[in-house]
Amino acid sequence: MSARAAILPSRYEEPRLVGRGGMGEIYLAHDRMLGRTVAVKLLAERLAEDSELRERFRREALTAARLSAEPHVVTIFDVGEHAGRPFTVMEYLPGGTLAQRMPGPVEPTRALAWLRQAAEALDAAHASGVVHRDVKPANLLFDGADRLQVVDFGIARLVDETLGMTAPGTILGTAGYLAPEQASGRETTAASDRYALAVVAYELLAGRRPFERRSETAEAAAHIHEPVPPASEQGVGLPEEVDAVFARALAKNPVHRYPTVSSFVDSLAGALHGQPARAVPPRPRRRHLGALALAGALLLALGGVAAALVSRDDGRPEQAAAPGPRTVTQQVTVKRQTTSVQTITQASAPGPGGGLDTDEAAALNDEAFTLMQEGEWEEALPLLERAVPALQGTYSDDFPHEAYAEYNLGRTLAELERCEDALPHLDRSKELQGNRKEIVEAKKICRGGGSDD
């Protein structure tokens, strides 16, 4: 038996190395018991020396195996350990990766078919509490019948834990497909997977990624700070209706995105046929107090929000008076290479909205809502007080941010027991979007505010 063959159990014959990454190698081999070609993922020898890591690899492999019964998830045939190295055996997918079928736009009917298949897999995983963390074209493979399969569930989490890449300011994943919270080093959730597949969808239809840059660091920063460029303006004949769909699917704030991947694909299909997307305001969470350390990390990641705050003697932040321009340096890591990214933030000029344009005001509202979710009402207030004036008179079905911002400011003022100031903003939000239950609940916070039926 050859030295290479000895790295796998004798059941897997004639192994051939076809890929290598930070976690190990991938081999093609012949399963002599079942008479078929399989792909075998083997943990790197240097990592296999860590018994705790070997157990995590096995655990993540078993998680992926449980998911493999779901449609369009790669099938896991075997999980084991040989010669001290854990391995996972999965079906061989001869159709190559989605990445190999790009660049260049794909015909919309075909793109939608692939996206629906990926959506089935991801929605099933999310329903089981599993987040992929690295959705990208290279992890979307095709079988011999040209059916798309999602691979590598659990691997991104294992890389995260193994390489110690969980600190704020650290980037895990592939820069072109990172959700803003991932690019900021914050918690990765199912909404992050939905964002990543929306980037894939944009690339399939427009022929390029929405925030494509020459460097990975610049691209990751663009996910955090820049508005979504309209896909209809990429010169490939897409209708304007798709722009509102991508604006929601690629929202900076996870709670503003579509609730499932399938709902995003359905909306995209409708938009491609000229049906306008119906914008749905986010569903605010109940108030809860977040850790001060997390709030600090969020402010840094938001690229300069901290420039609007100074510390008081008691350690609580307050709004600074007329701050000047400030350069914020953020350390980010892309593929384990640390780079400093500088963001210059200009103090707002006096006057309504502080000189913000509507996209900047909408982004500021998103940042404030993140703070509201953590119960940081005082920190959210100055951001909303800048965003609301800049958004006045901009409400439409395609750009509903004025309604969101009015609600957020009213809710924040109510939480700060400034009910007289809160109610006009809540009433304005009701006027724009109807009397949603969130508005009713916000009014109940104020004694005497009552609830409108």
pLDDT of amino acid 355? 65
Other Cβ atoms less than 10 A from the Cβ of 217: the count is: 20
Last residue of a domain, one of 272, 290, 310: 272
Residue 92: what are its φ and ψ, rounded to 5°?
-85, 125
| Tokens encoding 355 | 């000189």
Q: Are residues 114 and 25 in the same domain?
A: no
pLDDT of amino acid 284? 39
pLDDT of amino acid 298? 33
DSSP assignment of 162-188, as one string? HHT--STT---S-GGG--HHHHTT---
Residue 317: inside a domain, yes or no? no
Nearest to 157 by CA among 180, 137, 187: 187
| CB-based contacts of 29, cutoff 8 Å, min separation 6 | 8, 12, 13, 14, 15, 16, 37, 38, 40
302 three-state secondary structure:
coil
Q: Are residues 189 and 63 in the same domain?
A: no
| CB-based contacts of 223, cutoff 8 Å, min separation 6 | 175, 178, 179, 180, 183, 211
Which has more confidence, 111 or 275? 111
DSSP assignment of 325-364, as one string? -EEEEEEEEETTEEEEEEEEEPPPPSSGGGG--HHHHHHH
| Across 381-404, average pLDDT | 89
Tell me if 232 sits within 8 A of 239, measured CB to CB: yes
The CATH number of the domain holding residue 364 is: 1.25.40.10
Residue 276 DSSP label = P
| Across 263-282, average pLDDT | 78
* Domains: count for the chain: 3
Q: Is the pLDDT of residue 83 over 80?
A: yes
Q: What is the 3-state secondary structure (H, E, C) of 358-427?
A: HHHHHHHHHHHHHHHHCCCHHHHHHHHHHHHHHHCCCCCCCCCHHHHHHHHHHHHHHHCCCHHHHHHHHH
pLDDT of amino acid 446? 86
Q: Percent of the chain having pLDDT more than 90?
A: 49
Q: Are residues 138 and 62 in the same domain?
A: no
pLDDT of amino acid 190? 93
| CB-based contacts of 128, cutoff 8 Å, min separation 6 | 66, 67
What is the rounded distance in angstroms from the CA atom of residue 95 to the CA atom of residue 148? 9
Q: According to the per-residue pLDDT averaged within each range, which of 310-324, 331-345, 413-427 is highest?
A: 413-427
Q: Is the pLDDT of residue 9 over 60?
A: yes
| Tokens encoding 109 | 């009917």
Kindly indicate the confidence band of residue 369, based on its pLDDT and cuts at 50, 70 and 90: confident
Last residue of a domain, one of 46, 64, 91: 91
What is the rounded distance in angstroms from the CA atom of residue 410 to the CA atom of residue 418? 9
- When mean pLDDT is compared across 226-235, 273-282, 387-396, the lowest value belongs to 273-282
| Across 124-148, average pLDDT | 93
Q: Please, how many CA atoms are within 13 Å of residue 54, restricted to the half-sphere of its CB?
A: 14
Residue 191: inside a domain, yes or no? yes
pLDDT of amino acid 155? 61
Q: Are residues 380 and 434 in the same domain?
A: yes
Residue 307: inside a domain, yes or no? no
384 three-state secondary structure:
helix
**For 326-352, how does the pLDDT look when each residue is reduced to its tens digit (9 = 90+)?**
333 444 444 444 443 333 333 333 334
Among candidate residues 134, 193, 243, 366, the one labeled active-site is 134
Q: Are residues 67 and 115 in the same domain?
A: no
Q: Are residues 76 and 150 in the same domain?
A: no
The CATH number of the domain holding residue 205 is: 1.10.510.10
Distance, C-alpha 178 to centroid of its chain: 6
| Across 356-367, average pLDDT | 83
| Across 153-181, average pLDDT | 61
Q: Which amino acid is at 61?
A: A
Residue 134 appears among annotated catalytic residues: yes
pLDDT of amino acid 281? 42
Q: Are residues 53 and 114 in the same domain?
A: no
Residue 305: inside a domain, yes or no? no
Domain limits for position 390: 352-453
Last residue of a domain, one of 56, 91, 126: 91
Residue 49: inside a domain, yes or no? yes
322 three-state secondary structure:
coil
Q: Are residues 21 and 120 in the same domain?
A: no
| CB-based contacts of 279, cutoff 8 Å, min separation 6 | 244, 248, 397, 398, 399, 400
pLDDT of amino acid 163? 44
In terms of DSSP H, where are the helices of 142-226? Answer: 155-163, 180-183, 190-206, 216-225
Q: Is the pLDDT of residue 313 over 50?
A: no
Q: Are residues 32 and 145 in the same domain?
A: no
Residue 47: inside a domain, yes or no? yes
Angle between helical axes of 292-301 and 358-373 (0-180°, round to 10): 160
Which has more confidence, 449 or 255? 255
If residue 317 lies in a helix (H) or strand (E), which one and from where to where?
A: strand 317-319
| Across 11-18, average pLDDT | 94
What is the rounded distance in angstroms from the CA atom of residue 362 to the CA atom of residue 367? 9
**For 228-268, how does the pLDDT look when each residue is reduced to its tens digit (9 = 90+)?**
999 999 989 999 999 999 999 999 999 899 999 999 999 99
Nearest to 178 by CA among 123, 140, 133: 133
pLDDT of amino acid 11? 94
Q: Any idea which residue has 């003697």 for tokens?
A: 313
Which has more confidence, 18 or 447? 18
What is the rounded distance in angstroms from the CA atom of residue 434 to the CA atom of residue 445? 19
The CATH number of the domain holding residue 80 is: 3.30.200.20
Residue 157: inside a domain, yes or no? yes
| Across 304-322, average pLDDT | 32
What is the rounded distance in angstroms from the CA atom of residue 247 to the CA atom of residue 279? 10
Q: Are residues 260 and 122 in the same domain?
A: yes
Q: Are residues 200 and 252 in the same domain?
A: yes
Which has more confidence, 358 or 169? 358
Other Cβ atoms less than 10 A from the Cβ of 432: the count is: 16
Q: Are residues 136 and 214 in the same domain?
A: yes
Phi-psi region of 235 (alpha: psi -120 to 50; beta: other; left: phi over 0): left
Tell me if 99 sits within 8 A of 134, measured CB to CB: no
Tell me if 22 sits within 8 A of 164, measured CB to CB: no
What is the rounded distance in angstroms from the CA atom of residue 389 to the CA atom of residue 313? 31
Residue 309: inside a domain, yes or no? no
